[in-house]
Copies of this chain bind each other. A is one copy, B any other.
Amino acid sequence: MSDAATIRPLRASEISEWDKEADVVVAGYGIAGVCAAIESARAGADVLILERTGGWGGAAAMAGGFIYLGGGTPLQQALGFDDTPENMETFLLAALGPGVDKAKIADYCQGSVEHYKWLVSCGVPFRETFWGQPGWEPPHDEGLMYSGGENAAPFNAIAKPAPRGHVPQMADKRIGQKSGGYMLMKPLAETAEGLGVRVEYDTRIRRLIVDHTDRVVGVLATQFGKQVAIRAERGVVLATGSFAYHQKMIEGYAPRLIGRPAAAIEEHDGIGILVAQALGAELAHMDATEVAFFGDPQMMARGILVNGRGQRYIPEDTYPGRIGQATLIQQDNQAYLIIDEQSLEAALATETSTPFFRQPPTWAAETVAELEADMGLPRLALQGTVDAYNLHAADGKDPLLGKKPEWVEPIGSPLAAFDMRGFTAGFTLGGLRTDLDSRVMHVSGEPIAGLFAAGRCTSGLCAGGYVSGASLGDGSFYGRRAGLAAAK
């Protein structure tokens, strides 16, 4: 058998003996893998999950737990929010960037209510409460929240705002007991294992195994340093996560994330992408990244965010991940939050899921001119921004960026500035191009026989923009599709 260091496909004819067998082999036991396993098993397949670590969960189990769902889910309805698949689609087409896979977005929106019900049927709990304040996540176990800027400019003029961030109910978040992502993964893993899905832990895939027609018929993995050849009678599902921790891929595809991975796990080394590329797989949107921003949304909404030149650039009451992307990609990672004492006090009196982002200000001053000088900005750079903001804020308006009136108030004195330069980190969104059945596409335009993929090793809904819940969302939705298609 060839060198384990290579990721080139291995010919089945070179395998003298298969160590293990299953109908469907799933690489990775995160959100995409567990959903693939459940649907494959329900379709009658004997399923084997290979997981590199010692337990189920992947990045999903550590995530806040947003699943982006809508179109009129029972939870949306129970909480009084109208939504339709078409309204959801209109929003996602506007928010997720140019070059999106339109068919995939339409498909996802049409199937969203059914997917919600499926998750519930697997035991994923959602509490019927809504959190309406700015934030990265609900501070308690609320089940629904805006998680993509749906109710902020410019999207609130494009589609009817509806919250779509669905969060599994936590056991007891107040005492730090288990995240929403854990509470998503746990019932799904139990469901999978209840269906007889087998799991091999500490098992890392290295290469795909193909027959003489280039059909994928298995994987070569390592277990405690030993190579194992695993036969997949019907198909292999790649669900191995992003490439956030593959240094060379980050440099080559998404260099703005160099040195700043986040919300990913070190196992996210791009292996699923690479082994499929070695078979000629097509890629998409390799530069796209989710970007977190280490700011407290309650504070940001009540102040103004300015870039390295002292200029406003985004409505401060939008989805904070959108602020992160704009800051990293469009503002060279330069940002300052300007807020007056009264608004800061109001912000600090609110509840938040991110109290650790509530640090003391970097500078405080009696006047904008003084603050501007302390910050090292040229004269009038910040003053001009504040003057223009205050002129319109006196009427409760923000014609420049469209922040909602409830957050618009003139900036008074004393005031402070928070240095938020470099306050970003994120994970990659690009990967294998898959079709609606989660078949991995070859660059020639046909699917690669026997190979399926879902989750962050694929290019899913997001072409450049992001909404919280899109990764657990498309990972679970297209994980199911992968499992179904592989079981056929």
Interface residues of A (CB under 8 A from B): 6-8, 97-99, 250-256, 258, 274, 277-280, 282-287, 309, 311-313, 329-331, 378-381, 383-385, 387-388, 391-392, 399-401, 433, 442-446, 459, 463-464
Contacts and interface: CB of A to CB of B under 8 A. Distances in A.
A115 to B, nearest CB: 25
10 contacts: A7-B443, A99-B250, A255-B285, A255-B464, A277-B277, A309-B401, A311-B311, A330-B331, A380-B388, A381-B388
Among all A-B residue pairs, the 6 with the closest Cβ atoms: A99-B255, A384-B384, A287-B287, A380-B388, A378-B399, A252-B284
Contacts of A464: 255
Contacts of A99: 250-252, 254-255, 258
B378 A400 contact: yes
Interface of A is mostly: loop
Contact of A388 (B6, B313, B378, B445): B378
Given A252-B284, A287-B287, A383-B388, 5 more contacts: A8-B444, A99-B258, A274-B444, A283-B286, A329-B330
Nearest to A258: B98
A459 B379 contact: no
B312 A312 contact: no
A246 to B, nearest CB: 11
A422 B277 CA distance: 35
Nearest to A9: B280
Given A277-B443, A388-B384, A284 B379 contact: no
A312 B380 CA distance: 13
A287 to B, nearest CB: 4
Given A378-B388, A380-B388, A252 B285 contact: yes
A243 to B, nearest CB: 11
Contacts of A378: 388, 392, 399-400
A309 B309 contact: no
Give the number of times this chain occurs in the complex, counting copies: 2
A240 to B, nearest CB: 15
A279 B280 contact: yes
Nearest to A288: B287
A391 B372 CA distance: 15
Contact of A252 (B278, B311, B388, B433): B433
A401 B309 CA distance: 8
Contacts of A444: 6-8, 274, 278
Nearest to A331: B330
A245 to B, nearest CB: 16
Contacts of A278: 280, 442-444
A379 to B, nearest CB: 6
A283 B252 contact: yes
A256 to B, nearest CB: 6
A39 to B, nearest CB: 27
Contact of A400 (B250, B309, B331): B309
A275 to B, nearest CB: 8
Most buried by B among A258, A311, A445: A311
Nearest to A384: B384
A199 to B, nearest CB: 28
Contacts of A286: 253, 283, 286-287
A253 B284 contact: yes
A207 to B, nearest CB: 9
